[in-house]
Amino acid sequence: MTNLLSYTHFPVYSIMVLFLGAFLVVIAGKSKALRHIFAICAVTASLACLIALIKPVMIDGEVIAYWMGAREPAGGYAIGIALEVDALSLFFGLLIATAVFVSCCYSITYMRFDENVSQYYTLFLMLSGGVIGLVLSGDLFNMFIMVEILTFAAVALTAFRNKAHGALEAAFKYLVVGCIGSTCILAGTIMLYAQARTLNFAQLSAFIPGNFNTSTIIAFALLYIGFSTKAFIVPFHPLAADAHGAAPASISVLISGVLTKSGIYGIIRLTYFLFQSMALGKMQFLLVFIGSVSMFVCVTMALAQHDFKRLLAFHSISQIGYVLTACGLCTALGISAGLYHAMNHTLFKGLLFLAAGAVLQQTGTTDLNKLGGLSKRMPHTTVLFLIGAFSISGIPPFNGFASKWMVYQATYQKAVESGNIGFLFATIIALITSVLTLASFVKVSQSVFFGQLPEEYKDVKEVPFGMRFAMGIFAVLCIVTGLFRELVTHYLTEPAARAVFDVGKYINSMLGDGYASAVMGANAPVRTEVVFDMAGTWQPIHWLLLLCILLLAITLVALLGRYDTVSENKAALAEGKFDIFFGGEESVPSQVGGGDLFWGFKHNWRHYFSFMHDLHSGIVNDYALWAIVALALAMLYMLIVL
């Protein structure tokens, strides 16, 4: 009997407690307090188990291979079901567990008026368990099971407030396209099994790279599309927008911060580990291209939205585009930047969705054209929202700046190193996207928190402490990860990036030393020395000072230069000479609506926007068609390049 408290058991505990919690919540029945205690205990225990693994995995660089029921591999064949935790898995696991913990804290106050809350917590914990199981799994079929669990839980939770506008519709679309994705994953899994006769990741990683044939390549395309539907990257972004808009805010946090991450994790595992195909320029092109398209398309879609949560949803996918672009570069800096941005995305996006949830709960709407001036009534929420908005727009010293800077640097470095001008376009698109993101958050904060307070929201109050506390955790993390970049990169992203470039170790720790070189011969992956010089050479505080000085200078110049003209016109203004003529009617102050702040820009781009609007028709058949066309194109592309 091995010691049950040894850290090698922690991965399985962190998954188990969540599923156990899901059942205990049902047993708790009508008792509210008991239900909350079970839920909070489960998520805290899961987070604690993963935090305890930081020491051995992140710092000592160990890879934990855990065989369920102690069924060790025999004769070079993996028989049992395995969990394998390397730095990459743990990085995503920690992200997910943190987001789940904060979301659970928020739910306690946020969901207090809903019916059937006990089912809510069951599904919530199933979803969390599914995602953590997915990232810690060392087995392809196990991963498929976890994908199905999390898809079902996410669909049910999207439709949880089934009286809300569009909730059922969003859930149905998500289910149909999500199931196409799951079918693809299963078909891909079984086609790999037919070739390799194993489902174990490590063994597959040793087998596939030397055995590329039509069957494995089609399996690759199937798995890639399957994980794309989970990451909601183009062309699956409309589903994310629908699901986020309709789901409760605490679930939007999970869909945006957690589900998309599981898709990105799947793509990284698939391309860097199973197929080890990322050294090919054509594969890098594919990921960078899809990432850049996701960035740009989604940020422009977001500009045209006038629903708070739908807008945030499009931004969420736009940020995932950054992550995918950076991860597709196949450089240490790129992976490091991508993972850093993935982490920051979970934090600031979570914060923004929770703020949107707070606004929805207090006012009953998320329509940007109806809201306004809430900063006077909800000052704390406003400050928290602004922290999130600054972070996502990449303003120093918040975390978005740190990771976006690394993404620009990584794409530019790649362009210089490879001499390929295409990567420079990725840098430019990333910069433009960042500007458009800022523009769009100026619009949101103007139309929700500033401007004029509509008559009907005069009595709006601040949200309860529980919700502000949850948002506060995210806000503090946003600032901390922005200011202490060295610590974050040293303890979290760099070990994870090293793990990505050390496939041999991943295989060997699972199946015994020397397995990789024995099976793969000369093709065995050698550990690439990962160099992080130049990574993020900048000082957020200096940039902040520069920004402040520039702002002060501009303000000063503006004040000095215009002082006289203002005083001259005062007399004329008082006469009413320059007043706007309303045809005799009394002038009424009017709020610039959420959709109208950038009307000039939108007018100039009206052909593009109306084209995009018509394209996102909202008909499930169209989205299914996109999925299948994407699958066909992916198969074709991969058959040609691999």
Stretch that binds another protein, among 109-117, 151-159, 260-268, 476-484 (CB under 8 A): 151-159
Is the CB of 80 or the CB of 512 nearer to another protein? 80
Q: Which of 7, 193, 450, 491 binds another protein (CB under 8 A)?
A: 193
For the beta carbon of residue 548, count every other beta carbon within 10 angstroms.
10
Is the CB of 116 or the CB of 528 nearer to another protein? 116
Q: Which of 304, 312, 356, 389 binds another protein (CB under 8 A)?
A: 304
**What separation in angstroms does the CA of 596 have from each of 369, 453, 600?**
9, 17, 9
Give ∠ CA 436-442-443 in degrees, rounded to 5: 90
**What separation in angstroms does the CA of 636 have from each of 192, 220, 259, 630?**
18, 11, 27, 10
Decide if residue 71 touches another protein (CB under 8 A): no
Decide if residue 285 touches another protein (CB under 8 A): no
Q: Which residues 6+ apart lie within 8 Å of 172 measured at CB?
A: 620
Percent helix, strand and coil across the chain, each to the nearest 5: 75, 0, 25
Is the CB of 176 or the CB of 438 nearer to another protein? 176
Whether the Cβ atoms of residue 209 and residue 181 lie closer than 8 Å to each other: no
Site string for another protein, 120-149 (x = CB under 8 A): ---------------------x---x--x-
In angstroms, what is the minimal distance from the CB of 372 to another protein? Answer: 23
Specify which residues 137 forms β-bridges with.
83
Stretch that binds another protein, among 160-168, 341-349, 388-396, 533-541 (CB under 8 A): 160-168
The Cα 467–Cα 108 span in angstroms is 8
Decide if residue 112 touches another protein (CB under 8 A): no
Decide if residue 598 touches another protein (CB under 8 A): no
Is the CB of 170 or the CB of 467 nearer to another protein? 170
Stretch that binds another protein, among 49-57, 242-250, 282-290, 480-488 (CB under 8 A): 242-250
CA 479 to chain centre: 18
The Cα 340–Cα 606 span in angstroms is 35
Q: Which of 99, 123, 159, 511 binds another protein (CB under 8 A)?
A: 159
Stretch that binds another protein, among 39-47, 191-199, 264-272, 378-386 (CB under 8 A): 191-199
Decide if residue 22 touches another protein (CB under 8 A): no
Q: Which of 155, 259, 347, 448 binds another protein (CB under 8 A)?
A: 155
The Cα 90–Cα 102 span in angstroms is 18
For the beta carbon of residue 550, count every other beta carbon within 10 angstroms.
10
Decide if residue 199 touches another protein (CB under 8 A): yes
Is the CB of 185 or the CB of 258 nearer to another protein? 185
Whether the Cβ atoms of residue 302 and residue 374 lie closer than 8 Å to each other: no
Decide if residue 166 touches another protein (CB under 8 A): yes
In angstroms, what is the minimal distance from the CB of 84 to another protein? Answer: 19
Q: Which of 3, 70, 621, 640 binds another protein (CB under 8 A)?
A: 621
**What separation in angstroms does the CA of 177 have from each of 196, 239, 268?**
29, 8, 22
Decide if residue 617 touches another protein (CB under 8 A): yes
Is the CB of 559 or the CB of 629 nearer to another protein? 629
Q: Which of 54, 624, 641, 642 binds another protein (CB under 8 A)?
A: 624
Decide if residue 171 touches another protein (CB under 8 A): yes
User: What region, left, alpha or beta, does residue 166 occupy, with left being phi > 0 and alpha being psi -120 to 50 degrees?
Assistant: left
Number of shown-chain residues binding another protein (CB under 8 A): 46
Q: Which of 618, 633, 636, 639 binds another protein (CB under 8 A)?
A: 618
Is the CB of 246 or the CB of 475 nearer to another protein? 246
CA 267 to chain centre: 14
Closest CA to 158 of 253, 248, 256, 232: 248
Is the CB of 9 or the CB of 306 nearer to another protein? 306
Residue 228: φ, ψ to 5°: -65, -40
Closest CA to 255 of 336, 189, 313: 313
Whether the Cβ atoms of residue 225 and residue 184 lie closer than 8 Å to each other: yes
Decide if residue 183 touches another protein (CB under 8 A): yes
Whether the ω angle into residue 525 lies within 30 degrees of 0, i.e. cis, is no
Q: Which of 620, 634, 635, 638 binds another protein (CB under 8 A)?
A: 620
| Tokens linked to 210 | 């030397």
Specify which residues 315 forms β-bridges with.
none
Site residues, another protein (CB under 8 A): 141, 145, 148, 152, 155-156, 159, 162, 165-166, 168-172, 175-176, 179-180, 182-183, 186-187, 190-191, 193-194, 197, 199, 241-242, 245-246, 304, 310, 612-613, 616-621, 624-625, 628
